Amino acid sequence: MDGVLNINKPSGMTSHDVVLAVRRIVKEKRIGHTGTLDPMATGVLVLCLGKATRIARYLEAGEKEYQAVMRLGVTTDTLDAEGRVLETRPYEPPGRSQLLRALDGFIGTIMQQPPVYSAIKVRGVPSYKLARQGKAEPLKPRTVTIRHIELTAYEDPFISLTICCSKGVYVRTLCADLGESLHAGAHLTRLVRTRSGQFGIGHAVTIEQLERLAASDSVEKSLLSLDEALSEFPSVRVDDAEAIRISHGNRIHCLRDFVPLHPAMVRIHDQSGRLLALATAQENDFKPELVFSCDE
């Protein structure tokens, strides 16, 4: 079974748990996800099935959108509500204008330190395993981009936010850092991923819905083809000669009227509309990154 599946992940399951459940339901061994969600979190988890696993890294790079709720005045070791309380701190509740100014300080390209309770590996071992053994090591800060933060509700000690950001952003860390900037401390209490790239929560299926589709042999109705899943990338149609060249992994000349975009990634189609390749648009040519066979 080949295609891309938008799952609405329930709370209490790891992303790996979801993969195992979907593998059991659809009888497909080759399944990968495009960015983990913590067990507490819910929402969009994009899975690539069968041959679609080849495009997982391109889907993972898409912008993410979250709805988050944080609590001021309490810090935890995991930076969320599932962790051990480290400190209950007295603080002066910030005014709305103060809170908005603090949020502005996190918009743009910033350095963010991942939480030690994360799947990032340290010498081959997931950091969260070391943390559970009391052997946690600070992780290197990473460059991430937060495009937009909207304050959607505020009733002390709870702050509700909508966040649009790049891959790699830890909302737990953002909430903890925001709490520190307000001299209050904070932790994440609720997180929903509402969008990953073009995949929104409004079109996500639950595991229960997927089970019902499987029972009626209708799982394909919930799958997007590779071409549909990559539809955020512009499409270029080429003639028969160029189609043969790129199908063999060779560069082809850019079309005269094509203006490279950033990121300059395009889908190459033949005259019939069949997806041939995913390519980077360079100054004078298209360089294939992935070449697809006729049945993909």
Query: How does pLDDT run across 87-136, given as a tens digit for each residue?
Result: 999 999 999 999 999 999 999 999 999 998 888 888 888 888 888 888 88
DSSP-assigned beta bridge partners for residue 67: 162, 192
pTM score of the predicted model: 0.90
pLDDT at 129: 87
User: Could you read off the pLDDT of 143-201 as tens digits, one per residue?
Assistant: 999 999 999 999 999 999 999 999 999 999 999 999 999 999 999 999 999 999 999 99
Tokens of 190: 């609720």
Fold match between domain 64-196 and domain 233-291: no
Half-sphere exposure of 22 (CA within 13 A, CB side): 34
Express as a percent the part of the chain with pLDDT over 70: 96
Two structure tokens written together for 25 = 């339901």
**Selected catalytic residue, list 2, 17, 38, 177:** 38
Closest CA to 45 of 146, 25, 56: 56
Contact 288, 294 (CB under 8 A): no
- CATH T-level topology, domain 64-196: Pseudouridine synthase (3.30.2350)
How many CB atoms are closer than 10 A to CB 220?
Answer: 12
Calculated CA dihedral for residues 206, 207, 209, 210, nearest 10 degrees:
120
Polymer length of the chain: 296
The dotted CATH code for 233-291 is: 2.30.130.10
Query: Contact at 8 Å (CB) between 55 and 226?
Result: yes
Residue-range domain boundaries for the chain: 3-62+198-228, 64-196, 233-291
pLDDT at 126: 83
Query: Is 156 known to be catalytic?
Result: no
Listing DSSP states for 54-84 in one string gives GGHHHHHTS-EEEEEEEEETEEESSSBTTS-
CATH of domain 3-62+198-228: 3.30.2350.10
**Encoded amino acid at 205, one letter:** V
Residue-wise pLDDT for 251-286, tens only, equals 888 765 555 554 578 999 999 999 999 998 877 788
Q: What residues are paired with 112 via a beta bridge? A: 142
Q: Which residue has the tokens 């005259």?
A: 271
